[in-house]
Amino acid sequence: FGVSGKSVRFLHPRDRENAEPITIEAEAWFGAGVIVLGNVTVGMGSVVGAGSVVSKSIPPYTVAAGNPCRPLKRVFSDEALINHVAELTKDNSLAQKVLARRQHDLRAMNLSELPVIDKTDLYWETRPHQ
């Protein structure tokens, strides 16, 4: 819109002029009906609650929800996060980078003290022994 002499009905983007990048990193999970706007990165291992509108980037390994979507909890403590990512990827330097990015992003949002969710023990307690 906003083109003098042209009706909005007849305007069409050319060469992706209105396209904004959306990056969804590995292990991210979305509930039903999530809307992700452009210029957003959903970090590795993040969980986005159903019906959320993601208008800003979500740090790695956080649980986020709402409209606008915002981080509510950290998935794993810092130490557990390093162990988890290193075990998944077999790359300790990547684990350190993911943790550093989460810490930086949450500090920038004044959310560095979010509660932690870690259901590892509960999962293994309820699994049948093999």
Q: pLDDT of 106-125, one tens digit each?
A: 999 999 899 999 999 888 87
Band (pLDDT 50/70/90 cuts) for residue 9 is confident
Encode pLDDT of 80-97 as tens digits: 999 999 999 999 999 999
pTM value is: 0.83
Please report the pLDDT score of residue 127 as a whole number: 67
pLDDT digits (tens, 9 = 90+) for 20-79: 899 999 999 999 999 999 999 999 999 999 999 999 999 999 999 999 999 999 999 999
List residues bridging with 39 in a β-sheet. none
CA 65 from chain centre, in angstroms, equals 10
CA distance readout (Å), 91 to 29, 96, 97, 102, 105: 22, 9, 10, 17, 21
Report the pLDDT value the prediction gives residue 52, as an integer from 0 to 100: 98
From 24, 26, 19, select the one nearest 34 (Cα to Cα): 24
Alpha carbon 93 to its chain centroid, in Å, reads 20
- Provide the CA 83 distance to its chain's centre, in angstroms: 19
